[in-house]
Structure 1
Amino acid sequence: MDDRGISRRALGALAAGGAASLGLSGCDRVGSTEATVKSRQFPDDFVWGVATAAFQTEGSPEADGRGPSIWDTFEKQPGRIKDGSNADVATDSYRRYAEDVDLIAGAGLKAFRFSIAWSRVLPTGEGTVNPAGLDHYDRLVDACLAKGVTPYATLFHWDLPQALQDKGGWSARDTAKSFADYAAAVVGRLGDRLKHVITLNEPAVHTVFGHVLGEHAPGLKDIALLGPTTHHMNLGQGLAIQALRAAHDDLRIGTTLALQPCRVAGGPLAFWNRPAASGLDALWNRAWLDPLLKGAYPVLMADFLKGHLRDGDLKTIHQPIDFLGVNYYAPAYVNLDLGSASHIAPGAPPRGAELDAFGRQIDPSGLVEVLTRIRRDYGNPPVLITENGCSDPFGNGPAVLDDGFRSQYLRRHLEAVKSAMESGSRIGGYFTWTLIDNWEWDIGYTSKFGLVAMDRTTGVRRPKASYGWFKQVAETGTLPTA
């Protein structure tokens, strides 16, 4: 958060309650960042896949009746995107989807997680369905199935229709109902073949970065939006799950959360930072896990939810799911900052820590920590790792094709996954982010996460070394030692 963030009173409740309820778990970890495994062989039915998102890949923003989304609006505002680019072309996957599916199948991957653009299906977010928009996803699902690739569709990956934002977006309760109607429209057309559906992608990121810090669309900086946005996304998810199950009783439904340990900056002796770390944990992790899997919000969220939480809402949110999607990149380090309105300030990773292109610690043990917490505190639900990956160094130069660093990153995090499985976690699959170097939100094309490079002039795709490495892992189910 920043100086415009949480009030002293609200954070005081978060800090005091958080320290008491969470103790030190997840906040003051020390030791090796590596995970150890007993066996390097994954089960035969383990799902190997790759993940993408519509706005980052599709391009063709006005094709076939698509309406504008909040990201179309945001990217056009001066200074919002680091390199001044836009996603009008992205990876051109709206037109080149068959080529992309060939790349996925060619890597021996059996699953493709993509997202559906809400404003292609319902250009204003509600009302009459646009059949031409659904035609694209109809073709994409069929292309996947023809190649033996199971489609996993994410319904909301941050690209809210602008027309709904104009009515208040996720801060308006009606958006939750509109989301359920949209979910029903998607499976009404695709549900005979599309059997794996993910409702939300990283709602904590969308809430905090889009509505509190203003760094993502819709670009708002209002701490008063934290409570209603969090609650209405949770409520919309519950309503959507009900709509999906009413439409088809054979769907496998889950959600995807960005989970991270919230650790004390400065090491375990920096006890003064523990309240801030616990408070961030409540806002970032537990505000989504607890209502979905326990049927209750953390007590620490009470002030933010006043006036928004109604009778029956928690029952609606507390829907059974078939899997929990976990996106993991790095732990968060947190300082207590008495000079700011929020009292929460970002902290630095430990001195000498290995860092990724974003300056975040590369720490596979954080993934073990997250998976252990899910197993221990949330009833050990089935889990899919729905995102994990790393970027090339930032810049506008060509992609690194001999990307051994990416293969090693994936290996180390897959060791973490296997270690958690050996401890009892029910992990059924791993989707790496991402297939092709894409448009990476507010930093544009300066970041490259793909297994495949793309010439932005010609659109030609070129597999990197990590593509071949991941292909070997997927085809054999065996994790190399190096």
Structure 2
Amino acid sequence: MQSSDFGNDFLWGVATAAAQIEGAANDYGKGPSIWDTFSKRTGKIKKGHQPTLACDFYHRYLEDIALVKTLGFKVFRFSIAWARIFPLGHGSINPEGVAFYHRVIDECLMQDLVPMVTLYHWDLPEALSKEGGWTAFGINSWFNEYVTFCAKEYGDKVKQWIVINEPFGFTSLGYMLGVHAPGQTGVNNFFDAALHTAIAQADGAKILRAEVSSAVIGTAFSCSEVVPYTQSAQDLLAAKRTDALMNRFFFEPVLGLGFPTSDWEVLEKFAISHSTWRHQERMKFDFDFIGLQNYFPLVIRYNAFIPILQAWEAKAKNRKVPHTAMGWEINADSFYRIIKQFASYPQVKSIMVTENGAAFHDKVIDGKIDDRERIEYFEAYLSAMLKAKNEGINITGYLAWTLMDNFEWAEGYQARFGLVHNDFKTQQRTIKQSGYWWQQFLSK
């Protein structure tokens, strides 16, 4: 297998996110984000880590964009920090923040890289969170103001766009379970945030379509193949509920299908109480591509003690199957099947894998950062993707997560997913063996 097997127009890249790499969290006119605030709360982030400096990409973007080029990639996906543009979430604009993203975009173009911009990658301005954040009715007008500005400001240079990163991820972890920013809990908070996010996903895309000529517009969904632990009726139903919530809940409204209410009465009650046919129409958009972000399958068993969902994950460690340092199952065949699942909808024009990668305990051998497990992971997952593509699925690109070790949300700086090692004390970058593997792979 070599990169040319995927076709000359296939987009190969790396993905990053502002809150995870930028640093300069309190500088150059930027307002605080919910992750700046959340990370200061005791016990929320492993080892008390904070994204204040992160990878210092704000000051080192020239070096880091050069690394993307050196490794042979064509696409650099990064996100705009909403609070760096609008420190208060809306209203007054921070010109230094606006200028920074112009510099990043211009450098990508200078290096003959395609800049792919994610408009929302989890770092809501703290000022908006104090007004209710994604649970607030006003969030959609605030988001539209932000998207409109970015589209008009950068649209002449940026043509590849992702509206929202993993809507289920940040609404469930941040507004229901409380383990991510802003740390809210409760089913009602989740459903309020979910409705507004589903609307924002399509609203943002419609703004981009209106404001940016020749825009290629997508949005990025976290997805996992859901497998029942046994073939018992209870496990099968638990898996069906989990799939409806994690894979279909935000995806099917985009296609004009509404929320997946038929497989779970809780979602039917939500749809009746929270949404109308007007919402259903507003949540629909004909995206140019659907971004899939896959890291692991989920093996689900029935558990009556889990509120509402009544489902529980059978962990990879306990099942004694190959897994990453995060405990996530390694299963390239599952990756193939989840691509097939999403591609089975006739409304889907094309699929781009906008994130995929793995954290391992990298070793230093003879002065080199040996991460052969990561290389084996990519070899297996790319082979699975090629199989799906050869069967006729229109897969247009693949973005590895991630360029360099970074602030990995609640994991802090402990989980290392990078192709480039980052020494967080010195900010020295060192290409790992997996980075050199990609360099060789992309040269063929």
TM-score range, shorter chain: over 0.9
Deviations 1:379-398 (A, max 9, x none): 44211111111112399xxx
Which of the pair has the greater relative contact order for Cα pairs under 8 Å at 6+ separation?
Answer: 1
The alpha-carbon deviation at position 253 of structure 1 amounts to: 0.7
**Cα pair 1:295 1:317 within 8 Å, conserved:** no
Contact 1:367 1:416 in 2 (8 A): yes
* C-alpha displacement of 1:40: 7.8
Structure 2 unaligned runs (5+)?
none
Query: Is residue 120 of structure 2 the alignment partner of residue 153 of structure 1?
Result: no
Counting only pairs closer than 5 Å after superposition, residues 33-182 of structure 1 correspond to structure 2 as 41-182=5-146
Give the SS at the match of 2:77.
Answer: strand
> Gapped runs of 5+ residues in structure 1?
1-36, 477-482
Deviations 1:244-287 (A, max 9, x none): 1221232111000001111112x4x3432111111111111111
Task: State the alpha-carbon separation in 2 of the partners of residues 331 and 393 from structure 1.
Answer: 21
- Percent of aligned positions with the same letter in both sequences? 35
CA distance in 1, matches of 2:51, 2:66: 23
Counterpart of 2:315? 348
> 1:414 matched to which residue of 2?
382
Paired letter, 1:298: P
CA distance in 1, matches of 2:407, 2:23: 10
Per-residue deviation, 1:192? 0.6
State how far apart, in whole Å, the 2-side matches of 1:240 and 1:38 are.
36
Match of 1:217 in 2: 181
TM norm structure 2: 0.94
- The equivalent residue for 1:279 is 241
Q: 1:286 and 1:433 mapped to 2: Cα distance?
A: 23
2: CA distance between counterparts of 1:201 and 1:451?
A: 21
Alignment pair present for 1:242 and 2:242: no
Task: Say whether residues 1:449 and 2:417 are aligned partners.
Answer: yes
Give 1:117 deviation, angstroms: 0.3
Q: Does 1:206 align with 2:170?
A: yes
Task: Give SS of 1:97's match.
Answer: helix
Cα gap change, 1:371 to 1:340, in 2 (>3 Å): closer
Instruction: Tell me whether 1:333 sits opposite 2:295 in the alignment.
Output: no
Deviation at 1:292, TM superposition (A): 0.4
- TM-score, L = length of structure 1: 0.87
Please give the residue correspondences for 1:300-449 in structure 2 after superposition, counting only pairs within 5 Å.
300=264, 301-342=267-308, 343-349=310-316, 351-393=319-361, 401-449=369-417
* Maintained 8 Å contact 1:74/1:219: yes
Tell me how far 1:307 sits from its aligned partner.
Answer: 3.8
CA distance in 1 between partners of 2:327 and 2:368 (Å): 19
Q: Per-residue deviation at 1:345?
A: 1.8
Task: Quote how far apart the aligned CAs of 1:230 are.
Answer: 1.2
* Residue from 240, 243, 261 that aligns with 2:225: 261
- Aligned-pair distance for 1:377? 2.8
Letter in 2 for 1:144: C
One-letter amino acid of the counterpart of residue 273, structure 1: D
Stretch deviating more after TM superposition (295-304 or 78-87): 295-304
2:289–2:348 CA contact under 8 A, matched in 1: no
Q: How far off is 1:109 after superposition?
A: 0.6
Q: 2:362·2:370 contact (CA, 8 Å) conserved in 1?
A: no
Equivalent residue pairs, number? 435
Task: Work out the CA distance in 1 between the residues paired with 2:19 and 2:113.
Answer: 22
User: What secondary structure, in the 3-state scheme, does the structure 1 residue paired with 2:32 have?
Assistant: coil
1:174-203 CA-to-partner distances (Å, cap 9, x unmatched) read 212211111111121111101111000011
8 Å CA contact retained: 2:343, 2:351:
no
Letter in 2 for 1:434: T
